[in-house]
Every structure is written in C-alpha cells, then in structure tokens.
Amino acid sequence: MRLLFGSCFTLILAAAIGLGATWLTITRGIAFGALSIGAWTAWPKSGSTDIDPYARATIARSGELPIGMGDGIAFYARTDDLGKPFDGRCTYAISGLTPAARYWTVALYDRDGRLVANTLDRHVFTSEEIVRDIDGSFTINVAPRARPGNWLPTGGIERFVLVWRLYDTPIGVATRTTKEGPMPSVTRKNCS
C-alpha cells in the first residue's frame, strides 16, 4: 500500500516537474549561447544548424523562422537598460551607436510577435529612413503618443518587444565584447 502510494506520488510529481520545466523554458524562450549587449540579447546560433534543443522547441511552438546566420542577426529587448520591463504607456529614448551592418531595422511587436496597431501605421524604422542629427547620431522615441522626430508608436499596450535586426554584419557567433558591437542605449523617460 505504501509502495503504491509512494510510486503514484513520485510519478505525479515527476510529471509536474518535467512538464513544468518544459513549459517554463519554452514560454520564456531560454536558449544557450546568448549574446547580450545592454538591454539587447541575440542568439546567433539559432540561425544555424548549431541551434540548441531549447531554441528549436521554442521556435517550433511559436512558428517563428529565425534569421539565418548568413543573412543577419536579431537582437531582442524586453526591458530598458536598467532591467525594468517595457511598459507601452511610457516613453523610451533609444540612441547611440549601432554595430557595423549594411542595413538595420528596428521593429516593435507585442509579446506574441504581432505588430501593434497605430494611427500612423508605423511599425519599423530602417537605417535609411531614420532622421539623424548633423553628426550622424539618432534618437528614436518609443512612445504611446506622437513625438517629433523618429516616433515608434507603442499603441499604449502593456508589454512590448523591440527587435533590432542587423543585415550583412560581422556581428555573430564570434562576437564577444561590447566594443565590437555597440548597441543603442534604452532609457525610460516619463510615463503617462
């Protein structure tokens, strides 16, 4: 009787631990070989056959096609530089340097990877269309309400994700230091 009870308990607990751990790792998008620069994180190996089983499981579930290694690299940000999760009701200033690349784009999504509705129909900026200062620097205002300059609307949603994609770039698996790949800073301003 005790044996039966014990094995039942063990099996149920094992299923809970195993499935719980799988669910957690896959919904959080945990993968090995992350390259983090400031608020931005990329998984260069996810775009190659060296992709690890966790990343494979994550993309199989989400339906995403990861950007290929010979194509470019995608950096994801879910928080500002201080680690505070993005809030679509706040204004964020993104400015600074970008790593060497032929082109880059920065796009805003909700947590499931959908674009966010807004009056301008503006979801992305490319390196070609961004308005720059005389010295070539730029600031992108990620904000719920219209801002002068480069305004990337949040649509006022609670949580959003920024994805910075570099195309035709030396940044990749071999990149180690932040000097090689300076990424723009993400600073939270006021909240409405």
Partner 1 sequence: MMVRLLLWVLGAILLGGIVHLSTVLAMPKAANQDAYSRLTPLTPVNTMVALAAPTAQASVLPFTDPAFATAVCRYDLSDGALKLNAPVSQAYTSVTFYTRNSVAYYAINDRAAGRRAIELDLMTPEQHAQVPEEEDVTAADRLIIESPTATGLILLRALAPEPGLMPMARGALAAAKCQIGPVQ
Backbone angles phi, psi at 14, to 5 degrees: -60, -45
Q: Show the CA angle centred on residue 48, arms to residues 46 and 52, nearest 5°.
A: 50
Is position 69 an interface residue for partner 1 (rule: CB under 8 A)? yes
Backbone angles phi, psi at 16, to 5 degrees: -65, -45
Is position 132 an interface residue for partner 1 (rule: CB under 8 A)? no
Give 84 or 102: the residue with its C-beta nearer to partner 1.
102
Sheet with 90-95, side-by-side order of all strands: 150-153, 139-143, 90-95, 185-191
User: Which range binds partner 1 by CB under 8 A, 36-44, 86-94, 114-122, 175-183?
Assistant: 114-122
User: Which range binds partner 1 by CB under 8 A, 20-28, 32-40, 79-87, 137-145?
Assistant: 20-28
Of 73, 77, 22, 76, nearest in space to 46 by CA:
73
Of 104, 185, 186, 105, nearest in space to 143 by CA:
186
User: Which range binds partner 1 by CB under 8 A, 61-69, 92-100, 139-147, 178-186?
Assistant: 61-69
Is position 56 an interface residue for partner 1 (rule: CB under 8 A)? yes
Question: Which residues would be at the binding site for partner 1 (CB under 8 A)?
Answer: 6, 9-11, 13-19, 21-22, 25-26, 46-49, 51, 53-54, 56-57, 59-72, 74, 102-103, 105, 107, 109, 112-118, 123-124, 126-129, 155, 163, 165, 167-168
